[in-house]
Each structure stands twice: as C-alpha cells, then as structure tokens.
Amino acid sequence: MTTQLHPQSSGFSEPKERDHWKSCRSVVFWKCKLWMVITAIFLVIFLVILISLILYSNVYTDEDDYWDPDALLNSGNFHNFSGTLELMCGLPHFFSEDITKRLTEVYSSSPALGRYFRSAQVISFSNESSTVIYQLVFSVPPTTEGFMENIMNPDFIRNILRQNIYDEDDTFNPETSECDKLKLDRTSLT
C-alpha cells in the first residue's frame, strides 16, 4: 500500500522553497556563487557613485563663492550707474542722506550685487517734485565674459531696487500713515 501526500502538506512546499534559494548558492564561475556576484555588482555601483561625488565636490569650485574684496576694490575698474526715482510723498523731513542710506542698504545687502557695490550718492533731490537723481558706484572685476551684459545690466540693477520696494510694500502696516517713512514709487524707476 502506498501513501499519498496531500498537496497542502509540507512535503511539497519545502522542496520548492529550497530549490528557489538553492539557485542563489549555485556556482557561477570559479568558486563565486550567484549571491556573491549580485552583492559585488551592487557594491561596485555604490562605490563608483560615492567616489564620483567625492571627486566632483573636491574638484569643482564655484568662482562666485571665493572672491577677494580687496583685490576687487584695488582693481581700479569701476562702473557707474545713474537713475531717477520718485518718492510717494515729499515731506520736508526727508533728506538726501535718508535716500542715500536706503540705497546703500539695498545694494550692499543684495546677494547678487553686494560684493561689487561701493557707494550711493544722491545727485539731485527736490522736495517739491519728489524726484531723486542718484548715482551708484560698483567695482567690477577685470573683463569676464558676459559680466557687464548680465550682472551690470541697467535693468538688473534697477530691478534690485524695484524688488526691495515690492518687499517693503508687502510688509506695509496699514495703521501707519503712508508718509511716516521713506516710501519709493516703484513705477518711477528709470
């Protein structure tokens, strides 16, 4: 009499599972087994990526991150920018020194132009018309490709101030009068 095993008994399922894992223990070449080859491939890929990242970070240096302000200042290359703007309200207690201070704060704190900015000066200011003519002085590095066309572009320089005016308008407190502090008209920048 022969005994029959049911398909659900452990006699049939264990050999299949063992056969599945047995393929990982098979020798692929020499004495290397399949699991060793797969592990080695993943390890090599990981090491190549890691070494590439390390070499890239050591070799690549962004020239904008390293600059010598003394060398830039002593280069003797200066770029002047003149512009006009209008105040939202011309009160007698606003002086050209207030406007100069505001321009100096805006451009010296600019991430794009702060390292090049040297001075701001109000050339003409009239409380009657609230029109200001100003001049900015920047130190520029020796000729670099595209520098004057991109960084020292008059529109770019003007937009630094315009963005500051927009940022100030966003933080405007409605409880205070509009003329309590120096407020510039963003549409008047030329």
Read off the CATH number of the domain in which 162 is found.
3.30.70.960
Of the three residues 60, 83, 111, the one that is the final residue of a domain is 60
Note whether 141 and 105 are same-domain residues. Answer: yes
185, pLDDT greater than 90? no
Residues 35 and 56 in one domain: yes
Say if 179 falls within a structural domain: no
Burial of 142 per CB tally in 10 Å (0-12, 13-18, 19+): exposed
Whether residues 50 and 88 fall in one domain? no
11 pLDDT more than 70: no
Q: What angle do CA 101, 114, 120 make, to 5 degrees?
A: 35
In a domain, 3, yes or no: no
Which of 92-101, 108-117, 174-183 shows the highest mean pLDDT? 108-117
Q: Rounded to an integer, what distance in angstroms lies between the CA atom of residue 118 and that of residue 113?
A: 10
Same domain, 79 and 156: yes
pLDDT of 167:
83
pLDDT of residue 112: 84
Backbone angles phi, psi at 79, to 5 degrees: -130, 125
**Looking at the domain assignment, is residue 12 inside a domain?**
no
The most distant pair of C-alpha atoms in the chain lies apart, rounded to whole Å, by 120
Looking at residue 173, its pLDDT comes to 57
